[in-house]
Amino acid sequence: MLLPIASKKTVRAAATRLIRAHRRALLMVIVLHAVAAVFGLTGPWLVGRVIDAINAGAATELDINLAALILVAAVTIQSLINRLAQWRSMVLGETVFAALREQFMGTVGQLPLSIVEQAGTGDLLARTTNDIQSVAQTVRFGVPRILVAAATILLTIVAAAITAPRVSIGMLVTVPAIVLATRWYLRRSGRGYQRQLAGHARLSGVISETVEGARTIDALSLAPAQRRKIDRAVLERRESERYTLSLRSIWLPSTELSFLIPIIVVIGWGAWLVSVDSATVGEVTAVALFSTQLIGPVIELLGWMDEIQVGGTALSRIIGVEDVPPDRKPVPDARPSGSQLMARDVRFAYRHGAEVLHGINLDVAVGERLAVVGPSGSGKSTMGRLIAGINGPTVGSLTVGGVRIFDLPLDVLHKHVALVTQEHHVFVGTIADNLRLAKAGADDEELERALAVVDALGWVRYMPGGLEAHVGSGGVVLTPAQAQQIALARLVLLDPAVLVLDEATSLLDPGAARSLESSLERVLEGRTVIAIAHRLHTAHDADRVAVMQAGRLVEVGPHDELVARGGEYSALWTSWHDTGSGHA
Ligand code: ADP
């Protein structure tokens, strides 16, 4: 599954909104560039005047020197205003870029977890980096330059027409050719760039997957298969790039020819006009110079038109993320009464037709500790995901305090159930920032209380800056145990009634210090705990044990009762003891 791409209409609307929101700054940039362009037009006009004056024998040395001085002054003023204009363009570009990135991060933060997991990180990563970069490039340079180039072209043609209307007709001979070639190109390049950026996303996806899973790939000798996958992605990327390149290699030369021809035509046509006394040599020279001055802005206009195609495509990928359908329709005023968990005939399929949970019925009392055990692939983690509200049951009902878990608005959901994973990621910022992720607006005292619960207050106070100490990359690097304590303190602040503890991925890293276990124990206190147990001693300590097999609950009851019953659990327990795992 790939993330959606916005339609042309949406992109156009978004671009218009962007332009409108910054219209003042944009207007300023355009005016500055246009004024600079007007000063640039002085040259050809002045040269034409001087030539005619010389031809008429009316020019003195002083006149020529004065003309040269005016020319130098005009060019100096032009470059100064140009500098100012470019500075304003850059500021505008950065402003738009910042707003766009913030908007994008906001959208990404709201994406349903289940969809992010399905789409994979590569596509999202490419959109956050490559695509935003590309839009920024377009905004920073493209939009101002394209407008300025268009204005310069127009002003140059007007100036030529005023200087010598008849001669300047020659400038326009190839306009139809440029228009036709460009239309031909634009019709094809949009889709080409779409493919190219998607190919880039796929390639960066495969590469990030390979790097992240390097150990697994190594352990299972998957390197050749992975290499083939990368080769395919590279090939696809190359083919898509080659396509757009081939389009450009037809379009650009044909347009280049189109703006060289007018100069020749102006000189030829002008010469004839001079011979019939309908124009002066000065006029023809001025228009020919105007024609050469057109080349720069025309190249710029066409080049940026191409860039804008890429920018537009990138923009469609960025705002396309907003089109991700929500994975749930929360009932806004759904409020659980209590935290009793109830599952009735819960079935679940990750993919249509491939059910992995086949009708689970279960009640978990408030404050109870339930251990879920069973062979790998029996559906324990899936059950955990459903209880934590990451996925919703395909069939049946799963409720907390009488309300369907999947119907809860996310903020309410997170106050009731939390999945404890190995996500002890330390975010760049202060320790306080890291904690307030769980409870925005919590005061320092509250943060310290939470740290005290998990035995972390001591070392946090000891750090220079205490709660305000900068951590994460670029700041103090926390030890894994400290990072885990911060994650646990976040849970204390979040204060959910139900905790789903997936041991396979949980904070309970066997290598972690003993003290962490007591920190965790204090976090679990007074909460309902669903422990997905991969080590049976967890099950032994629980109030009840639920045994899963092939997507079904086959036994539920206290440890001793199940062992005495002599069923599945009893067999598991015996074999675990016999293999000596119990002493590991
Ligand atoms: P356990 O936690 O008991 O090892 P899981 O809940 O992880 O079992 O898996 C139950 C079944 O669901 C397995 O057959 C597994 O292959 C399948 N499964 C797990 N996660 C996914 C997923 N993201 N997409 C498709 N199938 C999945």
DSSP string, 413-477: HHHHEEEE-S--PPPSEEHHHHHHTTSTT--HHHHHHHHHHTT-HHHHHHSTTGGG-EESTTSBP
Cβ contacts of 351 within 8 Å, gap of 6 or more: none
Residue carrying structure tokens 């422990």? 531
pLDDT tens-digit map of 136-177 = 788 777 877 787 788 888 888 898 899 889 888 888 887 888
Higher per-residue confidence, 145 vs 284? 284
Q: Which of 117, 347, 356 to mutate to test the pocket of ligand 1 (most atoms within 8 A of CB)?
A: 356
pLDDT tens-digit map of 215-232 = 888 888 888 988 999 999
Of the candidates 329, 350, 302, the one whose C-alpha atom is nearest the C-alpha of residue 153 is: 302
Q: Which of 114, 347, 348, 350 to mutate to test the pocket of ligand 1 (most atoms within 8 A of CB)?
A: 350
The pTM for the full model equals 0.69
Domains and CATH numbers, the chain: 8-323 (1.20.1560.10), 341-578 (3.40.50.300)
Query: 526 CA to middle of ligand 1, Å?
Result: 30
Q: How confident is the model at residue 238 (pLDDT cuts 50, 70, 90)?
A: very high
- Which class for 476: exposed (0-12), middle (13-18), buried (19 or more C-beta within 10 A)? middle
Query: 422 CA to middle of ligand 1, Å?
Result: 18
Task: Identify the residue whose C-alpha is closest to ligand 1 atom 1.
Answer: 377
Ligand 1, closest atom to CA 384?
6
Distance of CA 243 to the CA centre of its chain: 26
Indicate the angle between helix axes 281-320 and 223-275, nearest 10 degrees: 160
pLDDT tens-digit map of 348-379 = 998 888 899 998 899 998 889 999 988 888 88
Kindly state the average pLDDT of the residues 494-508.
75
Mean pLDDT score across all residues of the chain: 85
Ligand 1, closest atom to CA 118?
23
Query: 377 CA to middle of ligand 1, Å?
Result: 6
Q: How confident is the model at residue 73 (pLDDT cuts 50, 70, 90)?
A: very high
pLDDT tens-digit map of 377-422 = 888 889 999 998 888 898 998 888 888 888 888 888 888 898 887 6
Q: Which amino acid is at 519?
A: S
Ligand 1, closest atom to CA 382?
6
Does 240 contact ligand 1 (Cβ within 6 A)?
no
- Residue 473 pLDDT: 74
Q: How far apart are CA 78 and CA 437, in angstroms?
A: 52
Ligand 1, closest atom to CA 385?
6
Q: How far apart are CA 429 and CA 434, in angstroms?
A: 7
- Which class for 252: exposed (0-12), middle (13-18), buried (19 or more C-beta within 10 A)? middle
| Ramachandran assignment for 527, one of left (phi > 0), alpha (psi -120 to 50 degrees), beta (any other) | beta
Ligand 1, closest atom to CA 378?
3
